[in-house]
C-alpha cells in the first residue's frame, strides 16, 4: 500500500477537505495512473451528499470521481496494453467478475458483481473504493481505456461518464440521420448528448429550463431549442419524437416528454433524481410508447466512443478548476450553472 493525496467528504453535510488515502501497489494485472484531470459528475454530488441512500448508501469518508484521465506510471507484470508514460482513462467501473454472460458479451455495466470506481466494497483493501479526486489510482487493466492523442485532456475526462452514458443509449436506440431526437437538460450529460446526436446526423432538439443556454445549445449542435417551461413551445412538438434522452438530475414531470414521442417512440432516463418520478400510463398506452433507463456503457463500447470522439474531435466543453474550488462547483451544479462540465486540474492537489 502507498499513500495518495485526495479530497474527501466526511459526511453528507461536510464540505470537501484535503486528505490522504491508501492505494494498493499494482498487482500483476494492474495499471497505476497519475491523474491529470477528473470531471465532476452530478452523480458525485448525489453520492457525496448521500442522496441515493435507498439504492447505494454512501460510506464515509467518500472520495468521488469517475471521469479520470492521466498518465500511466507503473504496470503489473502481466499488463501488455499499457506502458509507463501512456495516456490512460478510467470511468465508472474498476472491476467485474469477467465470467457471467454480461461480462462475456462486453456488458460489464450489467454484471451483478461489478465494482464501481468509488463508494463500493474494495476487495483489495477491505474498505471502499476511492475515486478520481486524487493524485493517483490503481485499476485492473481491462478497465483502463486508451485516450486518442489528439483530444484535449481536460475535455476528454468527462467522456468517461457523461460521454459514454449518452453515447450508449443513442447507439442502442438507433439514433441516426432521419430521426428526431430530444435531449432534456443541458448539463454535463445533456451537452454531450447534443454533440453525439448531432454527430450521428439526427435532427436534434434541446429542452432546457434555462433560457440563457439557448445560444450555446445551437452552437453545440442543436437544430432547435425548446424552453421546457413554455407549454406552447412544448405543444408544437407533440407526438413527433423518435427518441428522447432525459438527463435531468432533479424532480421533474416526465409525462410532458412522453407525450412528445411518436408511435413506438422511446424515452430513456439517464438522469437519476433522488426521488421516484410519477408516470401517467395513458401516455405510454397511447402510441405504444416506452420508457427505459440506461447506465454508462461497457468497456468495449467506452473505447469505441473514445475512438469516435478522436475521429470527430469531440470533447466536453469544460470549466477547468483547481481542486480547492470543488465545494463552490457543487453549489453551482445545484443551480444548473455549469458550462458544461467542471474538470478538475489535479496538479492543484500538489500544493495540499
Q: Is 336 in the site for ligand NAP (CB under 6 A)?
A: yes
| Residue 296 contact among ligand NAP, Zn ion, none, beta carbon within 5 to 8 Å by kind | ligand NAP
Q: How far is the CB of 188 from ligand NAP (least distance, A)?
A: 4
Binding residue for Zn ion (CB under 5 A) from 103, 159, 161, 349? 161
CB 330 to ligand NAP: min, Å: 10
Residue (82 or 196) nearer to ligand NAP, CB = 196
Mark the segment that binds ligand NAP (CB under 6 A) among 94-102, 126-134, 141-149, 182-190.
Answer: 182-190
Report the candidate in 242, 276, 267, 246 with the shortest Cα–Cα distance to residue 185: 246
Q: For residues 254 and 155, what is the distance between their CA atoms, to the nearest angstrom?
A: 30
**Residues 193-232: x/- map of binding to ligand NAP (CB under 6 A)?**
---------------xxx--x-------------------
What gap in Å lies between CA 74 and CA 337, rounded to an integer?
A: 38
Residue 61 Cβ vs ligand NAP, minimum distance, rounded to whole Å = 20
Is 194 in a helix, a strand, or coil? Answer: helix
Q: Which residues pair with 7 in a beta bridge?
A: 18
Query: Considering the rule CB under 6 A, would residue 62 count as an interface residue with ligand NAP?
Result: no
Q: Minimal distance in Å, beta carbon 191 to ligand NAP?
A: 8
Q: Is 336 left (phi over 0), alpha (psi -120 to 50) or beta?
A: left
Q: Does 160 contact Zn ion by CB under 5 A?
A: no
Q: Which is nearer to ligand NAP, 189 or 305 (CB)?
A: 189
42 sits near ligand NAP (criterion: CB under 6 A): yes
Taking the least distance from each CB to Zn ion, the nearer of 43 and 134 is 43
For position 316 contacting Zn ion by CB under 5 A, the verdict is no
**Which CB, 147 or 296, lies closer to ligand NAP?**
296
d(CA 335, CA 122): 33
Burial of 64 (0-12, 13-18, 19+ CB in 10 A): buried
Of 8, 71, 65, 64, nearest to 38 (Cα)? 65
Distance CA 27, CA 34 (A): 16
Binder to ligand NAP among 105, 235, 238, 250 (CB under 6 A)? 250
Nearer to Zn ion, 41 or 199 (CB): 41
- Say whether residue 226 binds Zn ion (CB under 5 A): no
Smaller CB distance to ligand NAP: residue 135 or 216?
Answer: 216
Q: Would you state the cell numbers that stand for residue 175, as one nine-digit string? A: 439514433
Site string for ligand NAP, 276-295 (x = CB under 6 A): ------------------xx
Beta-bridge partner residues of 203: 180
Helices assigned H by DSSP within the chain = 42-48, 101-104, 153-156, 162-172, 188-199, 214-220, 231-235, 255-258, 281-285, 299-312, 326-334
Q: How many Å apart are CA 321 and CA 344, to the nearest integer?
A: 5
In the complex with ligand NAP, the residue whose CB is nearer, 75 or 206, is 206
Torsion (CA) 304, 305, 310, 316 in degrees, nearest 10: -160
β-partners of residue 293 are 269
Rounded to 5, what percent of the chain is helix, strand, coil?
30, 30, 45
Enumerate residues 37-96 that contact Zn ion by CB under 5 A: 41, 43
296 touches ligand NAP (CB under 6 A):
yes
Residue whose entry in the numeric block shows the C-alpha cell 451528499 = 49
Which one of residues 161, 244, 245, 267 is an interface residue with ligand NAP (CB under 6 A)? 161
For residue 291, the cross-strand partners are 267
| Contact residues for Zn ion, defined by CB under 5 A | 41, 43, 161
Interface residues toward ligand NAP, by CB under 6 A: 41-43, 46, 161-162, 165, 185-190, 208-210, 213, 247-250, 252, 270-273, 294-296, 333, 336, 338
Amino acid at each position: 500500500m502507498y499513500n495518495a493525496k485526495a479530497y474527501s467528504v466526511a459526511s453528507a453535510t461536510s464540505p470537501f477537505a484535503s486528505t490522504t488515502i491508501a492505494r494498493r501497489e499494482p498487482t500483476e494485472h494492474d495499471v497505476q495512473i497519475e491523474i491529470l484531470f477528473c470531471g465532476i459528475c452530478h452523480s458525485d454530488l448525489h453520492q457525496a451528499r448521500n442522496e441515493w441512500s435507498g439504492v447505494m448508501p454512501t460510506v464515509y469518508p467518500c472520495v468521488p470521481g469517475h471521469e479520470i484521465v492521466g498518465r500511466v506510471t507503473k504496470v503489473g507484470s502481466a499488463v501488455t496494453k499499457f506502458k509507463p508514460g501512456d495516456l490512460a482513462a478510467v470511468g465508472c467501473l474498476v472491476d467485474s467478475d469477467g465470467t457471467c454472460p454480461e461480462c462475456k458479451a462486453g456488458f460489464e455495466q450489467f454484471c451483478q458483481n461489478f465494482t464501481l470506481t468509488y463508494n463500493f466494497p474494495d476487495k483489495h483493501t477491505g474498505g471502499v473504493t476511492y475515486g478520481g479526486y486524487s493524485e493517483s489510482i490503481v485499476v485492473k487493466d481491462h478497465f483502463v481505456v486508451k485516450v486518442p492523442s489528439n483530444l484535449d485532456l481536460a475535455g476528454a475526462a468527462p467522456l468517461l461518464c457523461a460521454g459514454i452514458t449518452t453515447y450508449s443509449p443513442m447507439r442502442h436506440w438507433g439514433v441516426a440521420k432521419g430521426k428526431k431526437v430530444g435531449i432534456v437538460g443541458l448539463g454535463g450529460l445533456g451537452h454531450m448528448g447534443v454533440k453525439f446526436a448531432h454527430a450521428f446526423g439526427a435532427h436534434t432538439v434541446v429542452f432546457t429550463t434555462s433560457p440563457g443556454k439557448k445560444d450555446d445549445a445551437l452552437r453545440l449542435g442543436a437544430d432547435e431549442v425548446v424552453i421546457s417551461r413554455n407549454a406552447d413551445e412544448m405543444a408544437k412538438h407533440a407526438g413527433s419524437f423518435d427518441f428522447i434522452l432525459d438527463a435531468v438530475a432533479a424532480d421533474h414531470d416526465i409525462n410532458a416528454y412522453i407525450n412528445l414521442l411518436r408511435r413506438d417512440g422511446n424515452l430513456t432516463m439517464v438522469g437519476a433524481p433522488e426521488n421516484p418520478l410519477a408516470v401517467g400510463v395513458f401516455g405510454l398506452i397511447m402510441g405504444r410508447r416506452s420508457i427505459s433507463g440506461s447506465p454508462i456503457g461497457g468497456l468495449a463500447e467506452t473505447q469505441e466512443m473514445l475512438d469516435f470522439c478522436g475521429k470527430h474531435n469531440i470533447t466536453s466543453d469544460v470549466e477547468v478548476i483547481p481542486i480547492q474550488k470543488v465545494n463552490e462547483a457543487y453549489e453551482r451544479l445545484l443551480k444548473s450553472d455549469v458550462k458544461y462540465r467542471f474538470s478538475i486540474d489535479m496538479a492543484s492537489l500538489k500544493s495540499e
